[in-house]
Structure 1
Amino acid sequence: MELITVLHSSNITPTGGPAENPCIVNDQMGPFIVLYILIFTLGLPGSLLSVWGFIQSRRSQVGQQISTYVYLINLLVADILLLFALPFKILKDLGSASWKLMVFHCQASGVIIYISLYASIAFLAFIIVDRYLKDHHTARSLRLQESSFAWLLTMVVWILLLLIMVPNMVLPTKDYKYLSCSSLKEKISLHWHTLTVFLNTALFLNASAAVLISSALALKRLLHSHSDPKLWLDARRVVLSVTAMALAYTLSFVPYHVVRTPYTLAQAEVIKNCQTKRQLFLGKESTLFLSLLHVCLDPLLFFNLDAAFRETVRRLLRRSRNQAVEADQQVVQEVMLPKVHAEEDTAV
């Protein structure tokens, strides 16, 4: 999926001849590598803690798996996929990857990153809509909040993404040292990649529309509840929750999609100016970092939205704090006991 220009010392063009004035766009990767390593090192502990928390809280969820829980579980799966694939991108950007690993990134790990990204977009949009529906008690909204319907939606998202993205893994490629992931692809593969970008953008636009509508309806309900203090407080709580998540969604994913389409046109050689390509590449990497940053923040979302998960984490923290206090007390006793014995011997 990700078609980043990567130059090799062989400088071989798609036609097999020497490269003439190749456009190098990825010669400023140092800051991005640091940022991606930061995402990995911060996101991995949080995601592993989230996995442990959901496993431990599973018993309390049995029989009452509401829609929010379903979306959070699938969001966590998307985060784990991203963290699994991110080290391959880091190695590739460092320039220390072997030839086979470079090809693996172009055909597999890069695709997994984008599957995770768009799955996260869909599930975050579902969560935002779900937060609005929880305060909108109608027969239809209650049906939409059933766990069976939520599981159906999540399966549709995963299947749709796999149908769109997996061909990028299996469509034919060329066998030579390449200048970029795009030059590794046959013409049909490159066309499918371009189609994939536009299909994923359509998914993003639909998710964004759902987020926007939910935010607007929540605000409308707030404005119409002035006369009833209780309704006002409930509506205010929902608006704050939905608006905060919608703002985070916008900051994470909108900048990336503003750059994504023109960057794809540059990859497909519709845009040929080298300086423009370099600027689009830097813009894409910068906004991609914002999009992937959500993996570090999702554990906070799990903690705030799932009561059983929150209680499990709190028990863990209390247990850890108690163990730390007991350890400190034991150390104090071990230090003070010899002094007490010495004082007793002196008195004797």
Structure 2
Amino acid sequence: MLPASNSSAGGAEEERQCIVNDQMGPFPVLYTIIFIISLPGNLLSVWTFIRSPRAKQQSSSVFLLNLLVADMLLLLALPFKILKDIGAAPWSLMVFHCQVSAVTIYISLYASIAFLAFIITDRYLQDCHNLSFLRLQEVGFARLLSLVIWLLLLLIMVPNMALPIQHIQEQRYLSCSSLKKDLSLHWHALTVILCTALFLNASAVVLLSSGLTLRRLLNSRKHPELWGDVRRAAASVTAMALAYILSFVPYHMVRTPYTLSQTKVITDCHTKRQLFLGKEATLLLSVLHLCFDPLLFFYLYSPFRQTLRNMFPCSRKQSVSEAEQEEMMEPAAPAQMPSNSTYCL
């Protein structure tokens, strides 16, 4: 970590020797690969949502659209992080990353966590007709809930952009925490606590919804004619829950101790370096969801599938009939499952 003030020459020299981000290794390359792979799929998703008038007709579409907005924010901020990590950014751009684009990355990250939780819960509620009274599936309520999430994240995160920073001498390796004054560091720690609480609540919802959905599906084994569809549905639910866990749980296991190193609670230089590398590795896993979210749009949003089919001439003749078949199958699938209400409780 770089020195936060010049009050003590000895302390400044000790801080200056502890540089945590001088061995980024493959991280900028991996972030670049993620950016290149995820950009086409997310741009195609944007194009599909713009062209489709059906995007606002269902609560799931509202949550998917907000997830897409979060992904695009992350894609816009990622190049600044790559340039800083490579060391190719000028000093002003490095400071801009610390003040703006790094905060944007975390806004989009926690927005993605919240909307993924809503999407998984919404899919569960679609199968539980005895829970149809819940307002989560109302389009108006879904929009209101999405607005609350964005306002909450902006209220928590924007002060990290607005609070004043201190001026330090230009140097090759910039640690963003070295720019923060004491008030900014305290607010940063509070931000981590609040966002971790948001993550824990979202994770509880994801695990509960996924577990109840799997129990309901597995209870359908007594119907052999449905077992093939049930097995595929169970595999998709399990894959979605595992992807959520692998993407976001490791990062939050490292986030708190890493924040302690930023706020000078942990002062050992070797520990700081290890925590920084752990944070970068787990953040990479979290950013990896950019590559998989277009698959989620494809699976949950039929206009996305229709757009992809229309891009290939050999499939255009079958696109209309396949779309009609999907529209008939999607609402019918839950009805084919056993309707015992205990499966959804």
In the superposition, the TM-score normalised over structure 2's length comes to 0.84
Structural mapping, 1:1-348, within 5 Å: 5=1, 14-15=5-6, 19-21=12-14, 22-56=17-51, 58-59=52-53, 61=54, 65-140=57-132, 143-177=135-169, 180-229=175-224, 236-318=231-313
- Identical counterparts, % of pairs: 66
1:53–1:313 contact (8 Å) kept in structure 2: no
Find the aligned partners of 2:141 and 2:232 in 1 and give their Cα distance.
25
Find the aligned partners of 1:234 and 1:260 in 2 and give their Cα distance.
39
The Cα shift of 1:17 comes to 6.2
Cross-structure match for 2:337: none
Find the aligned partners of 1:128 and 1:318 in 2 and give their Cα distance.
34
Find the aligned partners of 2:127 and 2:231 in 1 and give their Cα distance.
11
Find the aligned partners of 1:231 and 1:217 in 2 and give their Cα distance.
18
Which has the larger displacement, 221-230 or 34-43?
221-230
Cα displacement string for residues 283-302 of structure 1 (whole angstroms, at most 9, x for unaligned residues): 11001000001111111111
In the superposition, the TM-score normalised over structure 1's length comes to 0.83
Cα displacement string for residues 64-95 of structure 1 (whole angstroms, at most 9, x for unaligned residues): 61111111111110111001111111111122
Give the ranges of 4+ consecutive aligned residues of structure 1 lying more than 6 Å apart after TM superposition: 319-322
Cross-structure match for 2:331: none
Q: SS of the residue aligned with 1:25? A: coil
Query: How many residue pairs are counted as aligned between the two chains?
Result: 310
Find the aligned partners of 2:113 and 2:312 in 1 and give their Cα distance.
30
Cα displacement string for residues 29-76 of structure 1 (whole angstroms, at most 9, x for unaligned residues): 1300101111111111111111112222x13x06x6111111111111
Find the aligned partners of 2:63 and 2:235 in 1 and give their Cα distance.
20
Residue 46 of structure 1 aligns with an amino acid whose one-letter code is G
Q: SS of the residue aligned with 1:28? A: coil
In our comparison, the structure showing a higher alpha carbon Rg is: 1
Cross-structure match for 1:345: none
The Cα shift of 1:235 comes to 5.2
The Cα shift of 1:143 comes to 3.5
The Cα shift of 1:224 comes to 3.4
Find the aligned partners of 2:252 and 2:73 in 1 and give their Cα distance.
21
Find the aligned partners of 1:188 and 1:128 in 2 and give their Cα distance.
38
Find the aligned partners of 2:256 and 2:41 in 1 and give their Cα distance.
32
Find the aligned partners of 1:91 and 1:108 in 2 and give their Cα distance.
14
Superposition RMSD on alpha carbons, in Å?
A: 2.3
